[in-house]
Amino acid sequence: MDMLFPQIVAGLSNGSILLLAALGLSLTFGQMGVINNAHGEFMMAGAYTAYVMSTLIGNKTVALIVALVVGFAVSGLLGLLLDVALLERMRMRPLDTLLVTFGVSLVLQQLARDIFGATPVYASAPEALTNPVTVFGYSFSAGRLFIFILSIVCVAALYAVLKLTPLGRQIRATSENRDLAEVSGISTRTVDHVTFFLGSGIAGIAGVALSLLNSISFNFGTTFIVQAFLVVVAGGVGQLKGAVIASFVLGLCQSAIELPTSASIGQVAVFLIVVVFLQFRPQGLVSIRSRNLA
Amino acid sequence: MASKKTVSGGASASAAGEFYAKYKPWIGTAIAVVLILLAPSVMSVYNLGLLSKYLCYAMVAVGIGLAWGQGGMLTLGQGLFFGLGAYVMAIHMKLSDIGPGQVPDFMAQYGITEVPGFWELFRNPVIAVIGVAAVPGAIAALLGLAVFGRGVRGAYFAILSQALVAAFSVLLIGQSKTTGGTNGLNDFKGFFGYDLTDDANKQMIFYICAFLTLAMVLVVWWIRRSFMGDLIIGVRDQENRMKFLGYNPASIKVFAFSLAAMFAGIGGAMFVPVVGIISPSDIGVTPSILMLAGVVIGGRTTLLGPVVGTLLVRFAETQLSEAYPSAWTYIEGLIFILVIAFVPMGLGQFKGLWPWIKDRLGIGSAGSVAAAAASASVASAGDGGGDVKAAASASAAVTA
Amino acid sequence: MATLSKARVIALLCAAAAVLSTSGCGWGRTVAEKDALDANSTTATSAKSSCVDTSGDTIKIGFVNSLSGTMAISEQTVSDSLHMAVDEINANGGVLGKQLKVVQQDGKSEPAVFAEKAKTLIEKECVAAVFGGWTSSSRKAMLPVFEADNALLFYPLQYEGMESSPNIFYSGAAPNQQIVPALDYLKEKGYKKLFLVGSDYVFPQTANRVVKAYAAGNGMEVVGEEYTPMGSTDFTTIVNKLKFSGADAVVNTLNGDSNVAFFKEYKASGLKADTVPVISMSIAEEEVSAIGVDNVKGQLTAWNYYQTLDSAENKKFVKDFKAKYGENRPTSDPMESAYTSVYLWKGMVEKAKSFDVDKVKAAADGVTFDAPEGKVTVDGENHHIYKTSYIGEIGDDKLIHTVWQSDGPIKPDPYLKTYDWAKSLSASSESNE
């Protein structure tokens, strides 16, 4: 019983990592049906930004804050470039984008290797985030707490943008009914670009945050990408709520299963849970009601 | 290199052209057979081994062509089936090497004294040969019934297939006491009793690979001409219409997907005697997507494209990756980016060019014009998603 | 049409079969026939006559290292030090008067590619010896190639033991030169409860079997044993288990990137090197900077070489390496072992006065080299080498400092036959010999 509380915390922490990794993916998949295989490499770009900032700026706390902003911009612009240069011309065949973006991910990984070398690097974190914090007599990682809070902040910010701003209304309109949005005078082309920028930018933030826990190398993103996809699929298309619930449920499941078994069984179990779950809800946890044929 | 000949059998006179049009598949097959038989006399044993390896991947590609090009199921997880076939074969070869009552060396290292049950099953050569196709086929069918039956498709299916191959390789590594873990299974002495170090046997293994590939191409060719081929395309382009016409899209998809899985399993099974090792790193997420590279280049909807494309890509990999390891990764990435974004039908996109040239030069025949029209419709049919024209022609074929 | 075509297909295949059988193609030797032949002759039938060209004034040798893929990080350093050894040897007149010409191949971090490239080096490039490999998987994949072609591989890494191929020389530590001294050290310091954490592959699992046998025979207790998939970066659950296990020391066989996540989690959960120390088997100098020295300082490692070793040979080695590859590049055990292996091969060739594989093998026993790690000697029987063992502590300067060392070089014992507590281990792996 002693371990119950720390394990729940571990599960929530894993869930928040999944959420950060999957949030941007969920946004672009929901709106354009684009499964962005290079999402992991956008996270990698964010992580390398964190590394560069930590070498340029002496104060580690300032470096982290700057990295969050710059990482958002760098990955967002990469995403925008990808969308303008390639994905835009492929709106009619969304499935093919999966393979195009896989190619992009190969190229970005090799670029990172040529620029930063094959040796992993290490973004030194603010001292406060590497030490434990003690809650109810248990020690937890302050870095993980930070990531948890950051993921909640990101969700809240995204929610606010979608619900409260004109841009958000346009995004929602486009993702619900593209043609109707277009005839209502919304430039869906611009909205798509902006959405892609936002979604990729969030990947950059995720990369900066996760560099607190890992070393940074060219294959930084590949660790997270398959599970992030699963969150999107299990959560349902383009629904923030679905992605949030799916992330935390999967995170908790993995921690719970890993405890009596082993790490590899935990990972396999998460995959199987999603496959079985889709038996019952093939369109994911939360789906938009529509009159389209399933 | 061996079985891609039909494209080039040029005809200059119109009588010859007609003959060619009528007997094209037979001429192609005959040329392929001759080339396969001649290959060992013009290639070193070393190069023959490489070609055999490429052919193993070509077998997977033929299946992907059927499932993805024809059936619209983008499977990112063929490594799962490739691996199942390979491990069945590897288990059999390992057991026949060590003889009854013994355990493989890696198990002894873990202190295991008795061969586990799922190993013992494949000791019998007949069961092993059936198993390399039946195990992947059955798993694909089960999976297909589960996901297609519930209408999971498109990107959802692609992601699931990817997740499954990731889970499979994690599982293989996690259960290293019975699977060899990251080391995989290797160090085989014989292939059904024949010494793997003997050149004559290597040559026979090449023949098996080549003729299996040819047989798979012929099976797919036959399916494409049959009513089933129309059904598969119909389901790809207009699943709901097919449903309303009274067909069960799930079972049609399951058929194509399982067949593709069996091809991948057989390819994997031959990979083991050819390369001498199978390990999780041959079948993970990235290797599985790379199995699509040849199909992308060759043209996903064409019959021979997947084979030709795969042989080309793998050959280029051997040539280039040694000299320029970093450049090769860029090329691999650019293949996916440029071909899919700009030439989605790969080499198949240029298929219409040949009859056009022939017409211009005045050497064409009625047959070739028809062929041009046919290939043009094939090229347009593949644009994924909602190509209405292809869908209409497919469903017309169905109702006829 | 369809039925007709089937008939034609069958006819074609029959014709093909007929052509095959008449043209003399067909199955060759069976395994049984080969075994019979092998038993009757002294040299293996499978060993093809070597194509090594010894006529010119150069001789080709091959390197196979992962220059791409996940292992590139580590293996690039081995490739660098191999090249350095060759350059030194060439500058000093070569081997038997011949300059060495290196053929470098990329193993791409995949066992199957290692096997393929090894074959390329032996059969196509006709090299006299091959150096390289890192993971156990890569060595296991290459082993049959070298045995079938009767060629030579020099493998530089410490590894799990239980192996001794006539065609491989193992210049890294056998288990009794790394794992056993580490345990002796923990025992001496009074640690009783061990927690084992490793990556999910053969080295950690075999190493931990040795640890468990040792613990059982030496009054220690293993209170936890956890494996994580390679490349895994989530250690919350494992560190939770570690904290609640009551362990007083951790034996770490994690590989690569996983160490970073593990040590960050270890530190963030409040564990400390002075209360629950971690002794690592795979963290060398270059990993320390990747993990971040803040996260690992004060922790222990077990190796046979550190950059800080105080000997004339080592000072020269470190100086030359930094001059060649850059001042900020550390030197480490696998690099030193690879460097040494080239000199050992040179010694064997010069003793044999021939590049012939069988003559080199026959001359191997007793060949010595004053390596940066100290004097090493080849054991001709099991193809491993006598090495000194060092336990080190990671310092603030990102380097590892010796805190304990064995009494001189330890005789290699890959099967741990000479240890009473290891009887069960060697019995099970010998049964298959």
- Chain B residue closest in CA terms to A118: B326
Can you tell me the mean pLDDT for B68-91? Answer: 95
Query: In which band, very low, low, confident or very high, does the pLDDT at C13 lie, cut at 50, 70 and 90?
Result: low
Pick from B22, B96, B187, B197 the residue to mutate for testing the C interface (most C CBs within 10 Å).
B197
| Predicted-complex ipTM score | 0.88
Query: With an 8 Å Cβ cutoff, is B31 touching chain A?
Result: no
The CA-atom distances, in angstroms, between B320 and each of A31, A185, B316, C36, C373 are 39, 51, 6, 42, 39
d(CA C139, CA C155): 8
Query: In which band, very low, low, confident or very high, does the pLDDT at C19 lie, cut at 50, 70 and 90?
Result: low
Residue A103 and residue B173: Cβ atoms within 8 Å?
no
Query: With an 8 Å Cβ cutoff, is C272 touching chain A?
Result: no
Percent of chain C with pLDDT over 70: 90
C195-224 pLDDT, tens digit each? 999 988 888 888 999 999 999 999 999 999
Pick from C73, C134, C236, C272 the residue to mutate for testing the A interface (most A CBs within 10 Å).
C236
Can you tell me the mean pLDDT for B247-265? Answer: 95
Query: In which band, very low, low, confident or very high, does the pLDDT at B81 lie, cut at 50, 70 and 90?
Result: very high
Alpha-carbon gap: A233 to the closest alpha carbon of chain C (Å): 22
Q: Which pLDDT score, from 0 to 100, does residue B373 have? A: 41
Query: In which band, very low, low, confident or very high, does the pLDDT at B269 lie, cut at 50, 70 and 90?
Result: very high
| Dihedral of alpha carbons C327, C328, C333, C335, sign | negative
Alpha-carbon gap: A85 to the closest alpha carbon of chain B (Å): 10
Query: In which band, very low, low, confident or very high, does the pLDDT at B378 lie, cut at 50, 70 and 90?
Result: very low
Can you tell me the mean pLDDT for A45-74? Answer: 94
Residue C4 pLDDT exceeds 60: no
Residue C36 pLDDT exceeds 90: no
Q: pTM score > 0.90 for this model?
A: no
Q: Which pLDDT score, from 0 to 100, does residue B11 have? A: 42
Residue A130 and residue C270: Cβ atoms within 8 Å?
no
- Chain B residue closest in CA terms to C16: B33
The CA-atom distances, in angstroms, between C68 and each of A218, B113, C29, C110, C377 are 11, 38, 38, 10, 33
Residue C131 C-beta-side C-alpha neighbours within 13 Å: 33
Give long-range contacts, CB 8 A cutoff, 24+ apart: B354-360. Answer: B354/B7
Percent of chain A with pLDDT over 90: 46
* Average pLDDT for chain C: 88
Interacting residues of B51 by C-beta distance below 8 A, sequence separation 6+: B1, B2, B39, B43, B206, B311
A58-70 pLDDT, tens digit each? 899 999 999 999 9
Q: Which domains does chain C have, with CATH numbers?
A: 176-307+413-430 (3.40.50.2300)
Residue A287 pLDDT exceeds 80: no
d(CA B67, CA B136): 14
Can you tell me the mean pLDDT for B28-42? Answer: 90
Count of domains forming chain A: 1
Selection from B67-71, B106-110, C427-431 with the highest mean pLDDT: B67-71
Among the ranges given (A283-287, B65-69, B301-305, C248-252), the one the predictor scored with the smallest mean pLDDT: A283-287
DSSP 8-state assignment for residue C314? H
A134-178 pLDDT, tens digit each? 877 777 888 899 999 999 999 999 999 999 999 999 988 888 888
Query: In which band, very low, low, confident or very high, does the pLDDT at C10 lie, cut at 50, 70 and 90?
Result: low
Residue C140 and residue B33: Cβ atoms within 8 Å?
no
Helix %, strand %, coil % for chain A, to 5?
A: 75, 5, 20
Q: Which pLDDT score, from 0 to 100, does residue B13 have? A: 54
Query: In which band, very low, low, confident or very high, does the pLDDT at C168 lie, cut at 50, 70 and 90?
Result: very high
Among the ranges given (C207-221, C258-272, C355-369), the one the predictor scored with the smallest mean pLDDT: C258-272
- Chain B residue closest in CA terms to A234: B156
Residue C257 and residue A214: Cβ atoms within 8 Å?
yes
Residue C174 pLDDT exceeds 50: yes
Strands B194-195 and B190-191: antiparallel
Alpha-carbon gap: B329 to the closest alpha carbon of chain A (Å): 7
C344-356 pLDDT, tens digit each? 999 999 999 999 9
Tell me which of A257 and B366 has the higher pLDDT.
A257
Query: With an 8 Å Cβ cutoff, is B279 touching chain C?
Result: yes
Chains that touch B (3 or more CB pairs under 8 A): A, C
Q: Which pLDDT score, from 0 to 100, does residue C206 have? A: 86
Among residues 8-47 of chain B, which lie with CB inside 8 Å of chain C? 25-26, 29-30, 33, 36-37, 40, 46
Query: In which band, very low, low, confident or very high, does the pLDDT at C2 lie, cut at 50, 70 and 90?
Result: very low
Q: Which pLDDT score, from 0 to 100, does residue A238 have? A: 62
Percent of chain C with pLDDT over 90: 62
| Dihedral of alpha carbons B96, B99, B101, B103, sign | negative
d(CA C358, CA C356): 6
Residue B279 and residue C137: Cβ atoms within 8 Å?
yes
The residue range of the domain holding A202 is: 4-280
* Average pLDDT for chain B: 83
d(CA C352, CA C364): 8
- Map out the domains of chain B as residue ranges: 1-42, 45-345+382-399
Question: Which residues share a beta bridge with C370?
Answer: C375
Alpha-carbon gap: A125 to the closest alpha carbon of chain B (Å): 31
| Residue A117 tokens, joined | 């070398």
Chains that touch C (3 or more CB pairs under 8 A): A, B
Residue B2 pLDDT exceeds 70: no
Residue B201 pLDDT exceeds 70: yes
Among residues 125-184 of chain A, which lie with CB inside 8 Å of chain C? 130-132, 134, 139-144
Q: Which pLDDT score, from 0 to 100, does residue B363 have? A: 58
DSSP 8-state assignment for residue B6? G
Q: Which pLDDT score, from 0 to 100, does residue C299 have? A: 96
C78-104 pLDDT, tens digit each? 999 999 999 999 999 999 999 999 999
DSSP-H helix ranges across C152-225:
175-188, 202-217
- A264: chain C residues, CB-CB within 8 Å: 200, 227-229
| Dihedral of alpha carbons C251, A261, A144, A224, sign | positive
Among the ranges given (A78-82, A223-227, B369-373), the one the predictor scored with the smallest mean pLDDT: B369-373
Can you tell me the mean pLDDT for A188-199? Answer: 92
Residue B225 and residue C32: Cβ atoms within 8 Å?
no
Residue B72 pLDDT exceeds 50: yes
* Average pLDDT for chain A: 88
Residue C24 C-beta-side C-alpha neighbours within 13 Å: 3
If you compute the radius of gyration of chain B from its CA atoms, what whole number of angstroms results? 22
Q: Which pLDDT score, from 0 to 100, does residue A99 have? A: 92
- Chain B residue closest in CA terms to C112: B277
Q: Which pLDDT score, from 0 to 100, does residue B369 have? A: 41
Query: With an 8 Å Cβ cutoff, is B200 touching chain C?
Result: yes
Residue A130 and residue C232: Cβ atoms within 8 Å?
no
Can you tell me the mean pLDDT for C156-185? Answer: 94
Query: In which band, very low, low, confident or very high, does the pLDDT at B382 lie, cut at 50, 70 and 90?
Result: very low
3-state secondary structure of B30: helix
Can you tell me the mean pLDDT for B385-398? Answer: 38
Alpha-carbon gap: B340 to the closest alpha carbon of chain A (Å): 6
Q: Which pLDDT score, from 0 to 100, does residue C222 have? A: 96
Residue C270 pLDDT exceeds 90: no
| Residue A236 tokens, joined | 């349902």
Residue A89 and residue B337: Cβ atoms within 8 Å?
no
> Which among A124, A131, A263 has CB closest to C229?
A263
Q: Which pLDDT score, from 0 to 100, does residue A118 have? A: 72
Q: Which pLDDT score, from 0 to 100, does residue A281 have? A: 80
Residue C382 pLDDT exceeds 50: yes
**C385-386 sheet: strands from edge to edge:** C368-371, C374-378, C385-386
Pick from A41, A83, A92, A102 the residue to mutate for testing the B interface (most B CBs within 10 Å).
A102
Q: A89, A85, A112, A98: which is closest to A28 by C-alpha?
A: A98
Query: In which band, very low, low, confident or very high, does the pLDDT at C256 lie, cut at 50, 70 and 90?
Result: confident
Place of tokens 């084992």: C196
- Chain A residue closest in CA terms to B384: A93
Q: C119, C137, C138: which is closest to C127 by C-alpha?
A: C119
Can you tell me the mean pLDDT for B360-382? Answer: 46
Question: Which residues share a beta bridge with C371?
Answer: C374
**CA B115 to chain CA centroid, nearest Å:** 32
Percent of chain B with pLDDT over 90: 47
- A292: chain B residues, CB-CB within 8 Å: none
Query: In which band, very low, low, confident or very high, does the pLDDT at C29 lie, cut at 50, 70 and 90?
Result: confident
Q: Which pLDDT score, from 0 to 100, does residue B177 have? A: 84
Cα–Cα–Cα angle for A202, A208, A214, rounded to 5 degrees: 130
Can you tell me the mean pLDDT for B338-358? Answer: 80
> Which among A104, A272, A278 has CB closest to B167?
A272
Residue A267 and residue B340: Cβ atoms within 8 Å?
no
